[in-house]
């Protein structure tokens, strides 16, 4: 699933979104750190493709889902749903169209939600650029917009800055493409691309200050995780622990605003690294934790209702979900991993 699949809902409860066959499921904890409910299908009974689901969250705590739904003609259409609270039913899937008006699945979408609660869905189009469709403030959807670009590889990522404006990033051949809203509610504008050898499928974006979002990616030449803020140069952080994208969250560690990264390491365990937010030159290093995980396991980070960091791993092949929380002590000590 593209996006932050572990989120804290409006009611403070953590929930996890996952795919199963032709549906999207949600698991939610009952109380902070307590037991979790069994998986529940969200967004109605319509079938969706499990290979192209995205989730984004607004400042109001609502989750927005986007997925491809197969059509009777053998093509596909993008659909959207809003999930208000983990233990309430989500709105049924509603069609938002196709970036090229009609056709098959073109790529995995990405979702970001602006300060007004409007979802923005980004997806690669047939021309290998990026297209976007956005909700209107009073209901319905604006027309699809071709944001241009070419040679996009892998899924884009979308993020909402602290300003409430939406941004998107995509890997292309030898470059990172970037789009940003100049004002709320406007069509994102493409900025100057970054020349870089980006490993497709390793992008992760995070709002890191009032002015900036930071993109994390793995450099395909050096194998290093890099951090980039548009307008500057990418900064190598440390060697990638594993092949997939990092998970990222901001948190307070020993009184400092820090960015915490996590990744499934080549060893099969979860690797963590932290550094002062937007101060990549301070350095970072990996520390591994937890049991050996299947090769397809993915990692997510969030903060619970009390502000504590929560890490989760999910293996699509086994459905096994593990979680760990930061202990109430200095540093980044974690509780024992437990299966949900």
Tokens of 67: 């997925």
The dihedral sign for the CA sequence 208, 324, 108, 198: positive
In a domain, 333, yes or no: yes
In a domain, 28, yes or no: no
In a domain, 90, yes or no: no
Tokens of 207: 């709002």
- For the segment 122-139, the average pLDDT, to the nearest whole number, is 94
Task: Please say whether the beta carbons of 52 and 70 come within 8 A.
Answer: no
Q: Kind of pairing, strands 175-180 and 194-195? A: antiparallel
In a domain, 323, yes or no: yes
Contact partners, residue 239, CB within 8 Å, separation at least 6: 223, 224, 225
Element (H, E) at 314: strand 309-315
DSSP string, 139-173: SSBPPPEE-----EEEEEEEEE-TTS-EEEEEEET
- In the predicted structure, residue 244 carries a pLDDT above the cut 80: yes
Q: Kind of pairing, strands 2-3 and 54-57? A: parallel
* Domain range enclosing 251: 241-340
Domain count across the chain: 1
Distances (CA, A) of 338 to 99, 155, 246, 266: 42, 31, 21, 21
Judging by beta carbons within 10 Å of its beta carbon (0-12, 13-18, 19+), is residue 172 exposed, middle or buried? Answer: buried
- For the segment 218-238, the average pLDDT, to the nearest whole number, is 96
pLDDT in tens, 270-322: 999 999 999 999 999 999 999 999 999 999 999 998 889 999 999 988 888 99
Distances (CA, A) of 8 to 3, 13, 85: 14, 5, 9
pLDDT in tens, 173-201: 999 999 999 998 899 999 999 999 999 89
- For the segment 249-261, the average pLDDT, to the nearest whole number, is 94
In a domain, 186, yes or no: no
Rounded to whole angstroms, the Cα distance separating 252 from 222 reads: 30
Rounded to whole angstroms, the Cα distance separating 254 from 340 reads: 29
Q: So what's the pLDDT on residue 12?
A: 85
Rounded to whole angstroms, the Cα distance separating 44 from 94 reads: 10
pLDDT in tens, 9-30: 888 889 999 988 889 999 888 8
Split at pLDDT 50, 70, 90, the class of 266 is very high
Q: So what's the pLDDT on residue 137?
A: 83
Name the DSSP class of 210.
S
In a domain, 303, yes or no: yes
Q: So what's the pLDDT on residue 270?
A: 96
- Residue 89: CB atoms within 10 A of its CB come to 15
In a domain, 49, yes or no: no
In a domain, 258, yes or no: yes
What's phi and psi for 156, nearest 5 deg? -75, 170
Task: Please say whether the beta carbons of 151 and 128 come within 8 A.
Answer: yes
């Amino acid at each position: 699933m593209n996006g932050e699949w572990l989120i804290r809902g409006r009611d403070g409860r953590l929930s996890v979104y996952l795919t199963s066959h032709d549906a999207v499921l949600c698991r939610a904890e009952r109380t902070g750190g307590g037991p979790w409910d069994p998986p529940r299908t969200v967004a109605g009974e319509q079938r969706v493709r499990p290979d192209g689901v995205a989730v984004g969250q607004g400042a109001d705590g609502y989750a927005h889902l986007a997925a491809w739904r197969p059509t009777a003609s053998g093509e596909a259409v993008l659909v959207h749903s809003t999930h208000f609270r983990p233990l309430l039913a989500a709105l049924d899937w509603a069609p938002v169209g196709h970036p090229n008006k009609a056709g098959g699945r073109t790529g995995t979408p990405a979702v970001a939600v602006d300060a007004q609660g409007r979802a923005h869905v980004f997806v690669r189009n047939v021309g290998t650029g990026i297209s976007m469709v956005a909700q209107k403030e009073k209901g319905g959807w604006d027309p699809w917009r071709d944001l241009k670009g070419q040679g996009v590889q892998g899924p884009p990522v979308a993020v909402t800055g602290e300003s409430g404006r939406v941004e998107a990033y995509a890997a292309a051949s030898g470059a990172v493409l970037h789009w940003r809203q100049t004002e709320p509610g406007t069509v994102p504008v493409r900025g100057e691309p970054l020349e870089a050898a980006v490993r497709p499928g390793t992008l992760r974006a995070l709002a890191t200050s009032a002015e900036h979002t930071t993109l994390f990616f793995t450099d395909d030449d050096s194998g290093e995780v890099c951090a980039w803020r548009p307008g500057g140069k990418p900064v190598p952080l440390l060697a990638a622990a594993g092949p997939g994208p990092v998970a990222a969250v901001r948190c307070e560690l020993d009184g400092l605003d820090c960015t915490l990264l996590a990744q499934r390491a080549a060893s099969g365990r979860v690797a963590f690294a932290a550094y002062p937010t937007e101060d990549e030159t301070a350095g970072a290093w990996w520390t591994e934790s937890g049991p050996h995980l299947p090769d397809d396991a993915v990692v997510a980070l969030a903060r619970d209702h009390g502000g504590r960091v929560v890490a989760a791993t999910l293996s699509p092949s086994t459905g096994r979900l593990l979680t760990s929380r930061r202990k109430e002590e200095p540093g980044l000590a974690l509780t024992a991993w437990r299966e949900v």
